[in-house]
Amino acid sequence: MIEAVDVTRTYDLEGVSVPALRGVSLNIAAGDYVAIIGPSGSGKSTLMHLLGALDRPSAGKLLIDGQDVSDKTAPEMAKLRNETIGFVFQAFHLLPRTTALDNVALPLVYRGIATRERRAKAQQTLERVGLGHRTGHRPNQMSGGEQQRVAIARALVTEPKVLLADEPTGNLDTKTGQAVLELLEELNRDGVALVIVTHDLEVASRATRKITMRDGEIVA
């Protein structure tokens, strides 16, 4: 699903070149379950942005669903994200004044899907994550675990091939975090490739593959 070959990413900060990734190569196969770990500043987040088509490498080759991102326009990158990648973040990133149903339906707006169809699909997806009874609630009316499930439903509603989760249990208590991980793993068993970026070694130990980063490189 994703192939990175000798990928680098350098940022220009006030005239100084700062390397964030230094020649990273990896493959994410269909149905994979990968954990990416490493200390702060190791390049995990930069790699996540590249794998999710939120950014493109300074050098090297990056293919997402067989498509080379190097020459894609911003609208083409957005289309690739919308059709291929689902994102789950530590901070949920839900629209605060919007119901769970409409938060989940939002990615379908960018596909031009009619209101009735996208709301029906959002309802179905919320039921899949166990929140069919909370569709009319706003984020501040839900617990952290419920908000994260809404975020997962939003990531799933486009039927992505790859799910990228950045510290998905970071804002949750242990029991709720366990439930969220079990949900993500259930989706992985259904065939969605799952990539989790985490500081938590216990979370990482559940993955089929563990990738350790340090100073912008894969070290294990």
Mean pLDDT of 38-46: 91
- Rounded CA separation 205/2 (Å): 22
Question: Which of these, 54, 74, 75, lies nearest to 2 by C-alpha position?
Answer: 54
| Distance (Å, whole) CA 170 – CA 179 | 13
Give mean pLDDT, residues 115-121. 93
Instruction: Name which of 215, 156, 214, 210 is nearest 26 in CA terms.
Output: 210
Instruction: For residue 34, give both structure tokens.
Output: 């990968």
Q: Tell me the three state secondary structure of residue 103.
A: helix
What pLDDT is recorded for position 141?
94
pLDDT digits over 169-215, tens only? 888 888 888 888 998 999 999 999 999 999 889 999 999 999 999 99
CATH number of 29-42+71-211: 3.40.50.300
The mean predicted confidence, pLDDT, of the chain is 92
Would you tell me how many other CB atoms lie within 10 Å of the CB of residue 80? 17
Would you say residue 71 has pLDDT above 90? no
Residue 163: predicted pLDDT = 94
Query: Is residue 14 over pLDDT 90?
Result: no
Q: What is the pLDDT of residues 129-166, one digit of tens each?
A: 888 999 999 999 999 999 988 999 999 999 999 999 99
Domains of the chain, residue spans: 29-42+71-211
Over residues 91-101, the pLDDT tens digits come to 888 999 999 99
Q: Answer with the residue of higher pLDDT: 13 or 118.
A: 118
Copy the structure tokens of residue 163.
């799910």
142 Cβ contact partners less than 8 Å away, ≥ 6 residues apart = 100, 134, 150
For residue 169, which amino acid is it?
T
